[in-house]
Every structure is written in structure tokens, then in C-alpha cells.
Amino acid sequence: MLYRDQEKINTSIITALQYTDTLSNNGTYNYYVTAVYQNNESEPSNTVEVTITDDNTNPPTNLTATVELYNVNLSWAIPEGDTYRDQEKINTSIITALQYTDTLSNNGTYNYYVTAVYQNNESEPSNTVEVTITNNNTNPPTNLTATVELHNVNLNWAIPEGDTTALEGYNIYRDQEKINTSTITEPHYTDNIANNGTYQYYVTAVYQNNESEPSNTVDVNIMVAPNIMVSIASITQEVEENHTAQQNFTITNGGNTTLFFNMELIDADNQSTAPTWLAADILLGELAPGATSDIILTFNANNLQTGNYYGNIIIHHNVPAQDSIVIPVTMQVEKSDGLASEEQFNLGVYPNPCINMVNITAVQNINHIQVFNTQGQLLQNISSINDKMYKLDMSSLPNGVYIVECVIANKVIMKKIIKSKFLRYAQSASRLRSMT
């Protein structure tokens, strides 16, 4: 039997002449052995005293540190051990390798050392290394721009200048409020706006532990609607008595949806009727975004006394939150001093009476021809002739008496023309008589 400090330590009879006792603590121990016979046990052998002393508590050596952004990479030479930052142990279990990476959240200066962990104790600290974390790149994005497509605002920007290793993405702000729910990783973003209005945007860069200052700011105006633009605010036209004149204006759709409009011509003296002296070639229309319509107004001073005549053009439209547009119109009828005689330009109008076609000739270019009935209504308007002869087609007009105005060299020559179907019968009868 084997005894340590008066206590048997073997659980069964030892048949060999040696034994190994494994201890867990340093200290001094006394051993002796007895012989076991068939019916009894001998007296103890001599006693031996043993002292256990494990004094190897050397610390690790050559501790070094390198920094990558917020990661501190530590390395050291054996023995293995625990790692301390600023006097506090940072590992939760024993480190068996010879390196360790500590990830920090904040800039600052930190001190590290390592100890070796032995079976029963811990070594003194290794050398200390000092590490400074400085990640100062918080540059904002640059060159923020915005384009609008109906209700969509397309934002684009340039990445921040400098080191972008710690850049995680971007935040988008509209009118001082962040609108993205997760970090934007690409330098572009489309924001869908439900309502018309003016909005302001900027972008920030999101780094590993902080957010940059705002980028430049862009203002965006959302207006999804037609927008009517009229080229004139009022109209005044001088017309010689018993003459006509024309003036035009434009309506433009400056919006981004279809513009619908219709015009009313109102006599200023009698709001319920249209003026007899004013006509427009277009009263109803629709315009695509960016399109323009040219409106031609005709002022007719036939059978009117000299003086001023007043009316209004009212343009109704589908532009939201905008009233109908009212354009005041004035026609100033003046005494005519531009009449000329037929002889002055050797004007020829034939045949007269006519059936359908009338030849009009002159020694100078005919610029403009207008045909009126005896009530002064304009029936035909032929402009930009610029020729010494013109064939006037009156086939669409009923039989009757008409006034033809020819403008030559800014002078007006008026000629009465009779259209009659009986002329055809008379011509036919004349041809029959000549054949007999």
C-alpha cells in the first residue's frame, strides 16, 4: 500500500515496484509504503519527503499591435495567456493562439498587455503597447443633383473624397427628415412624391461609427399638371372702316400633362352674346406638354361706324387652382384712307357675273383677297398670294351678291361680284342659237 501524509492513496493493491502520484498543488508531501501479505499488512517502510515547486510563471514577450480602422491586431511570443486593455481583461476565455484582434467603437488611445496563464497561476504582464485609433474621414457626399419625372425625383451624387474604407452607405433627407429606412449603398436614389409642391433634399455619408455633414442641398418643384401660358394680356387692333384685319396670339402648355381649353368671345356691352366684329379660327383645343397653338383673330369693320368696340376673350382650361383667363379686346375703327381704284392697278375681275370661278388679275402682285356677303360676314380669306393672277373658287357659296376685297401694295380695292346659276342657262342658250 502507498501512503501520502498518513493517507492511503491507491485504490487497489499495487503489484509493481513503482507508482506515480499526480498532484495539483505545490507543497511538501510525506510518502511511505507497506507490504500486503495474505492475512496482514507490514509496518511502514522508511518515509520520504517530497516538495512540489513549479516556479515557471514567465510572461509572454514581444507584444506588438497594428491598427486597421477600428481593429487592433495584437501578436506576441509564447507563452500563451490572457489579453488586457487599459488594465481590464478583454478575453472571455483563454487564448491559445499567439494573436488576437480587438474591435473598438470609438477613436482614442488604448494600452495593451498580455499575461501567460499557467496551471495554477498567472504570469506578470508582458510589455505594454499603446495604440491610437484615429478615423477622421467624415467627408460628406458631393455634387448632389436632382431630375424630375412626373412624381419621381431622381437623385445622384458623388462619393465622398478621401479614405472610404469605413464608408457603409448614405442617408437621404427630404425637408430635414430622413426618408430611407435602411442605409443606401449606391450613389443614387429615386424618391416618389405623392403631392405637388417644392421639396429640399440633401445626402449624408454613413461611416462605421458616425455620419457626415450634409451634402449640398437641391430644391425640387413637383408640378404634375398642365400649365397654360398665353402670349398676350390684352389686344388692341386698328381697322379701317369697311375693312378687316388679323392678329394672332399663342397658347402654350408649359406643364407635363395634357392641357384642354375652350374660348368664349364676349361682347363687352352685351355679356350674353358674341361680338359680331370678332372671330377666332380656333375655339376648342387640347395641347400635349410643351405644345403651342396659334390662334388667329379676325377683326371685321364692315358696315360699322368709326369708334371703339370692346369685348373679352375668356379662355377656360383644366389647370388646377387657376381661374379662367380673361383677355380684354379693343377694335378701333378708323376712317379708311387706303382705298384704291380699279384703274390704279388695272384690276380685272371676270367673268362677272360668274358661275363658280372668277379670274382676278392686276399689274402688281395681289397680296390678299377676302370675300364678304352683303351683311359684312367674312366668307373667304386667302392670304400670301403674291401673284398677279388668282382664280377665286366660289363654288361653295350660294348664288348672290358678294364683295371682294383685294389688297395690292397695301391698298384695298373692293369689287362687287354676282354669282348666278342662271348664267349657265343663258350661256347654254346662246351656244344653241349660234349652232342653228
Distance in angstroms (rounded) separating the CA atoms of residues 74 and 137? 24
Q: What is the mean pLDDT of residues 17-42?
A: 86
**Confidence label for 390 from pLDDT (cuts 50, 70 and 90):** very high
Length of the chain: 436
The mean-pLDDT minimum among 34-48, 56-70, 394-408 falls in 56-70
Q: What is the mean pLDDT of residues 287-305?
A: 93
Query: To which CATH superfamily is domain 142-222 assigned?
Result: Immunoglobulins (2.60.40.10)
**Confidence label for 356 from pLDDT (cuts 50, 70 and 90):** very high
Distance in angstroms (rounded) separating the CA atoms of residues 162 and 183? 20
- Is the pLDDT at 103 greater than 60? The verdict is yes
- Is the pLDDT at 326 greater than 90? The verdict is yes
Residue 22, pLDDT score: 83
* CATH (residue range 228-334): 2.60.40.10
Model pTM above 0.85: no
Residue 195, pLDDT score: 83
Strands 259-267 and 278-280: unpaired
Do 42 and 32 contact (CB within 8 A), yes or no?
Answer: no
Please name the fold of domain 61-133.
Immunoglobulin-like (2.60.40)
pLDDT, tens digit, for every residue of 117-157?
Answer: 877 778 888 899 898 877 666 889 999 999 988 889 999 99
Alpha helices in 205-357 (DSSP H): none
* Cβ-based neighbour number of residue 224 at 10 Å: 16
Which has more confidence, 178 or 67?
Answer: 178
Taking CA 388 as the corner, what is the angle to CA 387 and CA 391, rounded to the nearest 5 degrees? 80
- Is the pLDDT at 287 greater than 80? The verdict is yes
The answer to whether 61-133 and 142-222 have equal CATH topology is yes
Residue 83, pLDDT score: 60
What is the domain partition of the chain in residue ranges?
A: 1-53, 61-133, 142-222, 228-334, 343-423
pLDDT, tens digit, for every residue of 302-317?
Answer: 889 989 999 999 999 9
Q: What is the mean pLDDT of residues 330-347?
A: 78
Do 206 and 172 contact (CB within 8 A), yes or no?
Answer: no
Taking CA 23 as the corner, what is the angle to CA 22 and CA 26, rounded to the nearest 5 degrees? 145
Strand, helix or coil for residue 99 = strand
**Confidence label for 359 from pLDDT (cuts 50, 70 and 90):** very high
**Confidence label for 330 from pLDDT (cuts 50, 70 and 90):** very high
Please name the fold of domain 343-423.
Immunoglobulin-like (2.60.40)
